Chain A
């Protein structure tokens, strides 16, 4: 069983379009995250949700909007896509209060904006 899954795995789209990436975890975790990994492989956190509430919102453009319908899902919607949004986006989850708070990552979604 896949612990943290993301769809789609690849996303190619034109500048200006709106797109969504979905994430689901079946680990019973209460906190989920979105990370952006640039071409230099640096993972940068974008958002974190704990029990469906936003607890961290790093400085990202407001074109990016996370949505969490329940604590097992955290989707990422991106409006008016730009060339610089091209990257790999990773979803992760963890259990707050668990010893050492390990984050489990999804397989990533490679977004290419043309």
Chain B
């Protein structure tokens, strides 16, 4: 089955800096790669996703890149703000998803 690894587990940045979170997956059949943001005690919220026929996708300050050959994908957040502080999860699959272990992002003012 699919296995998703996520790094780093924690990430501290200063406001305005960029943050990068990386994930690797094992199953070449996976073709959908979403990223979720989860605040404490709340539901995961989809922030961006990418499908296997696309190498990069951007939405304002957030971008995701996908390297199918190497089986890894990354989340890039530019101009970070304190409200970006949360836990971020990557996932891989199709309809059924396997989630990474999460990255706790802390943006200090």
A and B associate: no
Using a CB–CB distance below 8 Å, which chain B residues touch chain A?
none
